[in-house]
Amino acid sequence: MNDDEKNLLWDILWKHRNHKLEVARYGGNAAPEDVCLECLDCNEVILDAELYTICPQETE
Ligand SMILES: [Zn+2]
């Protein structure tokens, strides 16, 4: 992830400070199709797990 992408993510998250956030799962518990972080105040999807992937850092 480069600095531009980091700053963008910061901006996206900061915009929703003090808002009601919810993690929603779509497609059923057994085989979820998508997981989203949503802002209930803005009625907006902040992060969509279909679009973003966070990988653990390799510690070797
Ligand atoms: Zn919001």
Dist. CA 39 → ligand 1 center (Å): 5
Cα(46)–Cα(10) distance, rounded to whole angstroms? 11
Instruction: Provide the β-strand partners of residue 25.
Output: 35
CB 26 within 8 A of CB 36: yes
6 confidence band (pLDDT: 50, 70, 90): low
Residue 18 or residue 1, greater confidence:
18
Assess contact for 21 and 13: CB atoms under 8 A.
no
CA 18 / ligand 1 centre spacing (Å): 8
- What are the C-alpha distances in Å from 60 to residues 2, 51, 56, 57? 22, 27, 12, 9
Q: Which residues surround ligand 1, an ion (CB under 5 A)?
A: 16, 19, 39, 41-42
| Residue-wise pLDDT tens digits, 7-56 | 787 888 899 999 999 998 888 767 778 888 999 999 999 888 777 666 77
